[in-house]
């Protein structure tokens, strides 16, 4: 038997995660009160039961009963239950944006601000987050990327990394990304904007060849990748679960796109959980 508890921040993608697990054959129950979890696992474990794997969405909608979840999970694991806790995290700014886009209020905000509800929820989730087997930051995730991560954890048997990296290209003229952890300026490389390559982007082979053949570009990329290889295990050790590596050029269309893509490919090849995003690539179109 395989049991998965899906919990985390409201708006972080728990419903989507449950749908993905359901697509993969999990029997899914959303908004299960924590006290019912042991009884449900007992029913599933019966020899006559056709359920071989189940996922339970449990979060602060359970009210005062939610506070018992860490102790209940501990008891199930002590009794030999194969229980895995997946915690979905997300940055405050993105959560606020998602609530506003869906025109929904936060479960704990009532008539107050969304930010107030998020702050209260973080406090309530602190204990279960510390006991979670996997912490997944969905701030920059598309549904496809969330599906890929869940597949790696629960179906492919892959080595899921507890830190998710975003290789982000941007243009300085549009501002430095507010969520960037590491920022690198590649404006020392000649700009393809002033050549016949101007209509293309950093994803094209022609621009890639132009950028990486420039003096110092390949050496810079090698040193950047080496530094990231050095830093990542140390960030993981300190408990960081999301890292945004922002690479900027003037307009965010050529040089930064090329190098962010190269960093993404390096990290992907080394087995990291990484996504790539080109924030300003199409703004000059």
Q: Among 98-102, 175-179, 183-187, 240-244, which range has the highest average pLDDT? A: 183-187
pLDDT higher than threshold 60 for residue 213: yes
Give residue 123's pLDDT.
94
In whole angstroms, give the CA distance from residue 214 to residue 247: 17
Q: Edge-to-edge strands of the sheet including 182-185?
A: 182-185, 242-249, 164-171, 273-278
Q: What is the mean pLDDT of residues 64-80?
A: 88
Q: What residues have CB less than 8 Å from 136, skipping those under 6 apart? A: 86, 87, 88, 89, 146, 149, 164, 241
Model confidence over 171-182: pLDDT tens digits? 999 999 988 999
pLDDT higher than threshold 60 for residue 262: yes
In whole angstroms, give the CA distance from residue 233 to residue 236: 5
Residue 96 φ/ψ, nearest 5 degrees: -60, -45
Q: Where are the domains of the chain?
A: 2-154, 164-278
Give residue 102's pLDDT band: very low, low, confident or very high (50, 70, 90).
confident
Give residue 146's pLDDT.
86
Residue 11 φ/ψ, nearest 5 degrees: 90, 0
pLDDT higher than threshold 90 for residue 240: no
In whole angstroms, give the CA distance from residue 192 to residue 70: 55
Give residue 149's pLDDT.
82
The yes or no reply on domain 2-154 and CATH 3.40.50.300 is: yes
Model confidence over 111-120: pLDDT tens digits? 789 999 999 9
Give residue 47's pLDDT band: very low, low, confident or very high (50, 70, 90).
low
């Amino acid at each position: 038997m395989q049991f998965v508890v899906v919990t985390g921040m409201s708006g972080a993608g728990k419903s989507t995660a449950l749908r993905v697990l359901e697509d993969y054959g999990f029997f899914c129950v959303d908004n299960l009160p924590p006290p019912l979890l042991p009884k449900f696992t007992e029913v599933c474990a019966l020899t006559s039961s056709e359920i071989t794997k189940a996922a339970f969405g449990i979060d602060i909608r359970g009210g005062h009963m939610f506070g018992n979840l860490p102790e209940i999970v501990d008891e199930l694991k002590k009794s030999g239950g194969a229980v895995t806790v997946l915690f979905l995290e997300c940055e405050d700014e993105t959560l606020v944006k998602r609530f506003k886009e869906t025109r929904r209020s936060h479960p704990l905000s009532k008539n107050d601000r969304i930010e107030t509800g998020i702050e209260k929820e973080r406090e309530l989730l602190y204990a279960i987050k510390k006991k979670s087997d996997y912490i997944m930051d969905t701030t920059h995730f598309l549904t496809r990327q969330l599906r890929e991560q869940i597949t790696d954890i629960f179906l492919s048997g892959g080595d899921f990394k507890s830190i998710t990296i975003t290789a982000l290209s941007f243009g300085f003229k549009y501002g430095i990304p507010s969520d960037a952890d590491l920022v690198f300026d590649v404006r020392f490389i000649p700009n393809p904007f002033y050549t016949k390559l101007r209509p293309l982007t950093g994803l094209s082979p022609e621009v890639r060849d132009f950028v990486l053949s420039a003096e110092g570009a390949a050496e810079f990329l090698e040193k950047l990748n080496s530094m990231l290889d050095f830093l990542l295990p140390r960030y993981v050790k300190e408990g960081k679960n999301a890292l945004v590596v922002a690479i900027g050029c003037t307009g965010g269309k050529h040089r930064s796109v090329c190098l962010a893509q190269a960093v993404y490919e390096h990290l992907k090849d080394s087995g990291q959980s990484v996504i790539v995003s080109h924030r300003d690539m199409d703004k000059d179109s």
